[in-house]
Chain A
Amino acid sequence: QKEVEQDPGPLSVPEGAIVSLNCTYSNSAFQYFMWYRQYSRKGPELLMYTYSSGNKEDGRFTAQVDKSSKYISLFIRDSQPSDSATYLCAMSAYDNYGQNFVFGPGTRLSVLP
């Protein structure tokens, strides 16, 4: 079992739709959870950062963490064509060697005008 699983898509939605992107993980030590957006041929860009379970909202984006189920989600409201990108989830914990970041493989999203 991979440490972080993410549906690779591609996911196509019409403009204005609500998008739900999800990741599951196996390591209960993860405490910090992040979502990145990566446009084609660009570096990942940090979108949201959350600590522990709960919800965090930033504009049209909401990040949700359920540590009991080892499940995180990113919701995009009123999706726009400019949201078309690959979305990577990432998790982090401190281990004996320091800070450990693990990334999901990414979900490709297309928002159609």
Chain B
Amino acid sequence: NAGVTQTPKFQVLKTGQSMTLQCAQDMNHNSMYWYRQDPGMGLRLIYYSASEGTTDKGEVPNGYNVSRLNKREFSLRLESAAPSQTSVYFCASSETHPRGQFFGPGTRLTVL
């Protein structure tokens, strides 16, 4: 039982490049989330998916897109990376009833 897994662990991009961050969970959770974490800002919600087939914007969605591929997988895409997107990205999942979220190990992204 791996919980929430994320790939890659680290990535360096140049401004304007695109990439997809992958996330998978094996806990049969309905809800999945993408956050970014910046020093002094805490965790900010980018997008979430309450259930398979649905996605909704969070607090900071600009510059990102998501895909809920199936119940297990939720990907985050940066179409044209900008230095302001340098951050640590966390994926999380939870049951429909909000007993708390389970987080992946994170992806450290640097955009030059």
Using CB atoms and an 8 Å cutoff, list the residues of chain A in contact with chain B.
8, 32, 34, 36, 41-46, 49, 88, 90, 92, 94, 97-99, 101, 103-106
Contact = CB atoms under 8 A, between A and B. Distances in A.
B106 A92 contact: no
A45 B103 contact: yes
Contact of B40 (A8, A41, A92, A94): A8
Chain A interface mostly helix, strand, loop or mixed? strand
Contact of B90 (A44, A46, A99): A44
Interface of B: 4, 31, 33, 40-43, 45, 48, 50, 56, 90, 94, 96, 98-106
Given A41-B106, A49-B100, 5 more contacts: A32-B98, A32-B100, A43-B105, A44-B103, A90-B100
A99 B42 contact: no
Nearest to A4: B42
Contacts of A34: 100-101
Contact of B42 (A32, A43, A98, A104): A104
A35 to B, nearest CB: 9
B35 to A, nearest CB: 8
